[in-house]
């Protein structure tokens, strides 16, 4: 049996010394490439099964009572990240047919940035999916009024077309 202490400096079967890194891997590591196994991409059908604790954490402001410039920068970055995460989860809930969860999570995202259009679109679509076109229309009109009065702009053509497409059927049925 080989003694590990005695064989420490001897090359292995591949001709490398213990702890040595192959040339290709060495070049990848020097180039900043990460050759470790990467996690599987997150699939949207699993996103709607997020633990409620995670949603609660994503809904939490970071150090809201601090006004130092570095804290404000970090808080802004945290807000952007959690807004994007909540948007993705809300969209996945809607895609999975869970309109109620999409509304709840979408409203959390709207609470982070009331001018962000994507979460408002998700909430609008979720209300339509539930059959509540009046609540959906209220979401759109509230958003439209906010951006028009505060920013002097109108919702995007994508949002307006979505509203038109989803509510056109309602007008025809009357």
* Interval 109-143: pLDDT, tens: 999 999 999 999 999 999 999 999 999 999 999 99
Please tell me which residue, 160 or 12, carries the higher pLDDT value. Answer: 160
Predicted confidence (pLDDT) at residue 83 exceeds the cutoff of 80: yes
* Among 135, 70, 83, residue whose Cα is nearest residue 114: 83
The share of the chain scoring above pLDDT 70, in percent, equals 61
User: pTM score, two decimals?
Assistant: 0.65
Instruction: Supply the pLDDT for residue 70.
Output: 84
What is the Cα–Cα distance from 168 to 93, expressed in whole angstroms?
Answer: 24
Q: Which CATH architecture has domain 44-173?
A: Alpha Horseshoe (1.25)
Query: What residue ranges do the domains of the chain occupy?
Result: 44-173
Predicted confidence (pLDDT) at residue 107 exceeds the cutoff of 80: yes
Asked if 78 and 85 touch (Cβ cutoff 8 Å), the reply is no
Residues in the chain: 174
Degrees, nearest 5: CA angle 68-69-70 = 95
* Among 116, 104, 124, residue whose Cα is nearest residue 150: 116
């Amino acid at each position: 049996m080989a003694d590990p202490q005695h064989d420490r400096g001897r090359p292995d079967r591949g001709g490398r010394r213990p702890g040595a890194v192959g040339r290709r891997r060495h070049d990848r590591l020097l180039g900043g490439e990460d050759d470790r196994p990467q996690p599987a991409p997150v699939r949207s059908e699993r996103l709607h099964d997020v633990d409620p604790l995670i949603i609660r954490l994503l809904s939490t402001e970071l150090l809201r009572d601090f006004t130092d410039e570095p804290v404000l920068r970090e808080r802004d970055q945290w807000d952007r990240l959690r807004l994007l995460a909540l948007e993705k989860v809300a969209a996945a809930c809607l895609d999975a047919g869970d309109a109620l969860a999409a509304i709840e999570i979408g409203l959390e995202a709207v609470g982070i940035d009331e001018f962000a259009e994507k979460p408002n679109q998700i909430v609008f679509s979720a209300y339509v999916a539930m059959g509540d076109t009046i609540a959906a229309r209220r979401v759109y009109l509230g958003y439209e009024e906010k951006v028009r009065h505060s920013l002097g702009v109108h919702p995007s053509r994508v949002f307006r077309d979505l509203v038109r497409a989803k509510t056109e059927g309602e007008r025809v049925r009357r």
